Amino acid sequence: MRNFLRIHKHTPHSVSHSKRGIAAQFARFRATGLSAFAAFLAVLGPGLLAGLSDDDPAGITTYSVLGADHGYKLLWIIPASTLVLIQFHLIAVRIGAATGKGFVAIIREHWGRVWGYLAVIGLLFANFGTICAEYAGISAAAGLVGIPSWVSTPVAAILISLVVVLGSFHRVERVLLVISSTLALYIIDGILAAPDWSDVWHYSVIPHLPTSHLGWIALAATLGTTLAPWGLAFIQSYAVDKKITVANLRWERVDVIIGSLLTGVIGVAIAVACAATLNKSGIKINDASDAAAALQPLAGSFATVLFGVGLLGASLLAAAIVPLATAYSIAEGIGAPASLDLDSKHFQFFYAAFIVLTVAAASIVSLPSIPLIPLIYTSQVVNAVILPLHVIALLLLARSAKVMGVSRLGNGASILAGISIALILACVIAMAFS
C-alpha cells in the first residue's frame, strides 16, 4: 500500500483510497488465494445488483402485463431474455476487467470524445425517465398502505442519497444487496397463485409466437426490460469500481450467472402469478400497483402484501442503481473520475450528478400534475433504440485486440453474441412495426 501511494501520490484517487480503500482491500483479499468460497464472496455484487435491478417497477409491470394479458403462452421470452442477459453482462464485465474502464470511458478512449458525448446523452435521456419510473414505483407501493407520494418519494430520495454519498463502497453494496433480497418474495407469490405447473414448464421452454401485435410488443418489451442499456453500463462501471480484474473473472462469472438467473426466475414468478389469477379472471392492468391490488381477491391479502413489499424493494434498489449508472456514465463522458469507494471531496462531480438526477426525478414524481406516463414511455422508446447500438458496441469492443489484448472475445462467443443481437433487432423491429 505504501508503494501504491508513493507511485500515485499526486492523484485524488490514491488519496481517497488511503482513507476508504474498501475496493482495494477486496483486491488484495482476492489475490491471497484463499478458498473458493472466499474468492466468490470477494467478487460478489456486480452481477447480483445489475441483474436484480432489472426487476424494477418497469420490469415488474412488463412481466405482470405479459402474464395478465397473454397467460402462460409467452413465458418463454423470459428464459430467452435471461440467456441474452447472461451473455452480455459477461461481455461487459470482461471489457471492464480487461481495460479498467467503464462503458462510456472506453467508448471515449477508443472512438473519440464525440461518440462518448453521444453515448452519455443517449443514456441520460433514456435513464432519466427510468429513474422517474423507479420513484413512481416507490410512490405506488407506499400508496398501497395509504402513504401519499409527496411524503414517500422525498423521504426515499433523501435516504438513498445519504446511503450513497455518505457510505463507503462496502456499506453501499451491503445495503443494496439486502434490499435486493426482498425480490425473493415474488417467488412466494408465484407459488401462492397455484398455477398449472405443467403449462408453466411447457410454455417456458417451448416458444410460441404471438398471434397479435400486442403480443409482439409484449415480447419486445420483455426483452428490453430484462436487458436494459443502463444495466449493461452499470455492471461494467461497477465491476471497474470494485477492482475486478481478468484474474477474478472465473468467480465473477458465477456472480453474473446467479444474478441473471435470479432475475429470470423472479420475472417468471411475477408473470405466472398474474397468469394464474388475473388472466384467468380476465382482469387487465396498467402498472405494477394495479397488479398488487387485483391479486387480493384472487390470491389473498398475503399475496398482495408480498407483491407490494417486493415492489417497494425493487423500486428502492433501482432508484439507487439507475442514477448510479447514469452518474458513472456522465463522469466517464467528460473524463472525470467516478467511484463509490472515494470520498466526496475528490469526486464532487460524480456525487453531484447522482444527487441532481435523484432530486429531479423525485420532484417530478411528487407533483401530481406532471404526466409521468409519456415521460416513462418516451424513455423506453429511447431504450429500445439504444439497446441494439449498445450491444453492438460491446461486441466490437470485446472483439478488438487493441482494446482487449489477450482477453479479446473468441470466435465462438462472438458468433453466439451475433445471434443474440439478431434476436434483439428482430424484437425491436417487430415492436416498431406493431
Average pLDDT over residues 403-425: 90
* Domain count across the chain: 1
CB 104 within 8 A of CB 329: yes
User: pLDDT grade, residue 434 (50/70/90)?
Assistant: low
Q: Is the pLDDT of residue 343 over 80?
A: no
Asked if the structure places residue 84 within a domain, the reply is yes
Q: Which pLDDT score is estimated for 374?
A: 65
Asked if the structure places residue 24 within a domain, the reply is no
Asked if the structure places residue 13 within a domain, the reply is no
Here the cell at position 265 is: 426466475
Q: Which pLDDT score is estimated for 3?
A: 44
Q: What is the pLDDT of residues 40-81, one digit of tens each?
A: 555 666 777 877 888 888 888 888 889 988 999 999 999 999
The model's pTM is 0.84
Asked if the structure places residue 33 within a domain, the reply is no
Instruction: Assign residue 404 the CATH number of its domain.
Output: 1.20.1740.10
Percentage of residues in the chain having pLDDT higher than 90: 30
Asked if the structure places residue 400 within a domain, the reply is yes
Cell 411475477 belongs to which residue? 270
Asked if the structure places residue 38 within a domain, the reply is no
- CB contact burial 134-145 (16+ within 10 A = b; e otherwise): bbbbbbbbbbbe
Asked if the structure places residue 212 within a domain, the reply is yes
Q: Which pLDDT score is estimated for 365?
A: 87
CB 20 within 8 A of CB 341: yes
Q: In Å, how far from its chain's centre is CA 422?
A: 22
Q: Which pLDDT score is estimated for 391?
A: 93
Q: Which pLDDT score is estimated for 159?
A: 92
Q: Which pLDDT score is estimated for 51?
A: 77
User: pLDDT grade, residue 27 (50/70/90)?
Assistant: low
Q: In Å, how far from its chain's centre is CA 49?
A: 7
Longest dimension (CA), the chain: 69
Q: Is the pLDDT of residue 31 over 70?
A: no
Asked if the structure places residue 361 within a domain, the reply is yes
Average pLDDT over residues 214-230: 83
Question: Which residue range is the domain that position 344 belongs to?
Answer: 43-433
Helices (H), 197-248: 197-205, 213-226, 229-241
Q: Which pLDDT score is estimated for 10?
A: 40
